[in-house]
Chains A and B, each alone.
Chain A
């Protein structure tokens, strides 16, 4: 089974992204092949200068460096979206052009969209 966690929700407007990352980490713990795709509002997760308060939610950016310990090494973003951010972002992503993005989606047997 190859699983893609597809994130498009805003990271701090609800618990959705936190619970999506929890799902990714648990599946990784069980040695499943997990990748993550980040697009749309979820891209805010990658902004290095984010400083959420406790009331806004857990500091999700800090979780990103730990993904490799769960063998989650493929973190996909869309090339044009990440370029438009024009701000320092987490460096561990793999930017894909639109066609590669679509081909990437085809590779996974299970996709969980949050």
Chain B
């Protein structure tokens, strides 16, 4: 039996009522009489659909990704200043490579997104005493990926670092500019792999702090 006939039978509607409901949308065309005619099973199904539609929409991951806007992708220098793991996280990775830690380092918090700090060393110490250091690329980006086939951390080109173990939170982090001294982040990273999840913009606000800067905060 075609699906529309099965649906009409399930809703217990006459042919004319069915056509009427199709003209002015299924739900809106229900008259008091047609709703009253619904068998219990159909009513339960309708309420089930309503309850699902009330709670399910775009997933948080998809919504976050959409918030990042359009930009050319495909190389390690793209989208500086954005939360990398939105597209490169373990649970949701439409961007391909999965990172455990990634972000962008700036010299000053007032730097526009295109001027990250190149050649900075981003040093990590995790709760299992693993130490590793990533080197930022021309845009200030760095990204850390787990590769269990390695025996030691391996710095690759363009800010990419591979490490042989899953880092254990909490993680302490510090940044050293070429020829400079290390500046440590005051607090530890407890679960978020993207710097920009907490660090974005030139100024702090109630729910975030400014982008990761090395020399100074924006005036």
Chain B associates with chain A: no
Please report B residues at the A interface, Cβ cutoff 8 Å.
Answer: none
Please report A residues at the B interface, Cβ cutoff 8 Å.
Answer: none
